[in-house]
Amino acid sequence: MKMLKHSALALGGGKPAVTMKCPAWPVSGRQELIWMEQVVRSGKWSWLGPHERAFCKEYAKFIGSKYCLCLANGTVTIQCALQGVGVKPGDEVIVPGLTFVATAQAALDVGANVVLVDIDPETLCIDPAAIEKAITRKTKAIIPVHLYGCMCDMDAIMNIARRHKLKVVEDVAHQHGSRWRNRGAGAIGDAGSFSFQQSKLLTSGEGGAVTCNDKAVYETVHALKHVGWGPDGKPANRYGHNYRITEMQAVLLRGGLRRLGRQTGLRDENAQYLAERLAAMGGPLRAARRDPRVTRQAYYTMTLVFDPSQAGGVTKPEYMQALRAERCGLGNPYCPVYASPQMNLYDVTSPVPFRDKKTMQNFRTLKLPNVEKAVHETALVLDHAHLLGTRRYLDQLLLAIRKVNDHLAQVKALRKKRGAGK
Ligand SMILES: Cc1ncc(COP(=O)(O)O)c(C=O)c1O
């Protein structure tokens, strides 16, 4: 790779290293347009139409689960999956301290008491040792979130669940198609929850799915999402909501699923290309190590590790700022769940059982060490759309990183000049 020592940092007024555009997301194909017109003309727009039924079959096959149900989004999927596996108000549910806030909110919304635990510093996924420590008499379920571009240690988690008779609801909002020892994420635990929101790897704008292998879980989730009706079309004599999707959404999902395998393969190849080049380059940035038990990795983002000890005094925000100026847009991880403004349980719009509850973890004072370090010092992510780029585009991203790495002293000096980093 060409050295760029002589070219000026974009942060200091030089030309940005990246001139090509990041590939667009979401994408669609001709088949969806054909189906969409047929659906519009058919007048069959909802209520488990032929496209939704077909997609559920296709997606269950893709994931390797017996059942699949489509729901309105990837938050109500977690609610219904938790209720489907038997979580009741007052039960404790163990959730990682780093995930999108919806994972925790979904558990709170079904009346469960959320217990946030620390993460593995390499994968950013829930730490099995922290799960084990958090188990009490009231614990009923664990929600491992396969976060960004790494899977949770499902061997350890399933082992803990078996020993303590706990249920496992996998949150797979980020990794449609990941596989652990050749078993699909979402088909390993008692239920899987997927989001099909616009930024996701498989999308219908909004939407979600629950996958499971147990008929009783399937029937409960069916009733919960379909106003109390069972899969046999008869009232199941139970409480329910309307969390249905439309046929238009199902059409987008069927089209997207046809491309997903190829896209996952391309993202994986490109992520490995970037990981190898970053390792060869040295410097403060590297890819998170991949667990050899992951037999297929899907990437909502690529998980990257910033090592401050290799950065010559430049902090993660300063490093990101210099890269952004080069038009290499790396992102930050989510804020810790406990620090999220939406976790204000004293607000009158929060779920009723928790407004005055004194027995919960105090989210306002909680600080989980690995979550804190990852969020503030070491974790960076690269959005999945970049991983669909050409090798020329990826090489431009690598050149931007190389350029910033070669000018760390200047990044630091510019900080002093701008009065930043105080
Ligand atoms: C890890 C995780 N879980 C759950 C959700 C909720 O999904 P939705 O936005 O479809 O409700 C998201 C959405 O971004 C997510 O990232």
Residue by residue, pLDDT tens for the chain (422 residues) are 444 445 899 999 999 999 999 999 999 999 999 999 999 999 999 999 999 999 999 999 999 999 999 999 999 999 999 999 999 999 999 999 999 999 999 999 999 999 999 999 999 999 999 999 999 999 999 999 999 999 999 999 999 999 999 999 999 999 999 999 999 999 999 999 999 999 999 999 999 999 999 999 999 999 999 999 999 999 988 899 999 999 999 999 999 999 999 999 999 999 999 999 999 999 999 999 999 999 999 999 999 999 999 999 999 999 999 999 999 989 999 999 999 999 988 888 887 777 666 778 889 899 999 999 999 999 999 999 999 999 999 999 999 999 999 999 999 998 767 654 44
Spacing, Cα 69 to ligand 1 middle (Å): 17
Instruction: Supply the range of the domain harboring residue 78.
Output: 30-255
Residue 37 DSSP SS3: helix
Spacing, Cα 75 to ligand 1 middle (Å): 6
Spacing, Cα 72 to ligand 1 middle (Å): 12
Number of domains the chain contains: 1
- Asked whether residue 352 is domain-assigned, the answer is no
Residue whose CA lies nearest to ligand 1 atom number 7 = 74
- Residue whose C-alpha is closest to residue 124's, from 381, 374, 335: 374
- Asked whether residue 416 is domain-assigned, the answer is no
Longest dimension (CA), the chain: 73
Residue 89 DSSP SS3: coil
Spacing, Cα 41 to ligand 1 middle (Å): 32
Q: What is the pLDDT of residue 2?
A: 47
Q: In the block, which residue shows the tokens 């430049």?
A: 314
- Asked whether residue 10 is domain-assigned, the answer is no
Q: What are the backbone dihedrals phi and psi of residue 263, each rounded to the nearest 5 degrees, phi first?
A: -65, -40
Q: What is the pLDDT of residue 419?
A: 59
Contacts 24+ apart (CB under 8 A), 228-231: none
Pocket of ligand 1 (CB under 6 A): 73-75, 99-100, 102-103, 145, 171, 173-174, 195, 197, 208
Are 135 and 164 contacting, i.e. CB atoms less than 8 angstroms apart? yes
Q: What is the pLDDT of residue 355?
A: 65
Residue whose CA lies nearest to ligand 1 atom number 8 = 74
Structure token digits, residue 114? 């959320």
Spacing, Cα 396 to ligand 1 middle (Å): 31
> CATH code at 37?
3.40.640.10
Tell whether the torsion through CA atoms of 21, 26, 31 and 33 is positive or negative: negative
For residue 145, which atom of ligand 1 is closest to its CA? 1
- Asked whether residue 98 is domain-assigned, the answer is yes
- Asked whether residue 411 is domain-assigned, the answer is no
Structure token digits, residue 92? 């404790």
H-only helix segments in 143-246 = 154-164, 215-225
For residue 195, which atom of ligand 1 is closest to its CA? 10
Q: Residue 99 corresponds to which amino acid?
A: T
Spacing, Cα 147 to ligand 1 middle (Å): 11
- Asked whether residue 14 is domain-assigned, the answer is no
* Residue to mutate (ligand 1; options 77, 78, 100; most atoms within 8 A of CB): 100
Tell whether the torsion through CA atoms of 253, 259, 264 and 266 is positive or negative: negative
Are 253 and 207 contacting, i.e. CB atoms less than 8 angstroms apart? yes
Burial 4-14 (b: 16+ CB within 10 A, else e): beeeebbbeee
- Asked whether residue 97 is domain-assigned, the answer is yes
Tabulate helix, strand, coil % of the chain (nearest 5). 40, 15, 45
How far apart are alpha carbons 25 and 201 in whole angstroms?
Answer: 9
Look up the pTM and report it.
0.96
285-287 and 208-212 beta bridge pairing: unpaired
Q: What is the pLDDT of residue 359?
A: 74
Residue whose CA lies nearest to ligand 1 atom number 14 = 100
- Asked whether residue 407 is domain-assigned, the answer is no
Q: Residue 359 corresponds to which amino acid?
A: T
Q: What is the pLDDT of residue 219?
A: 97
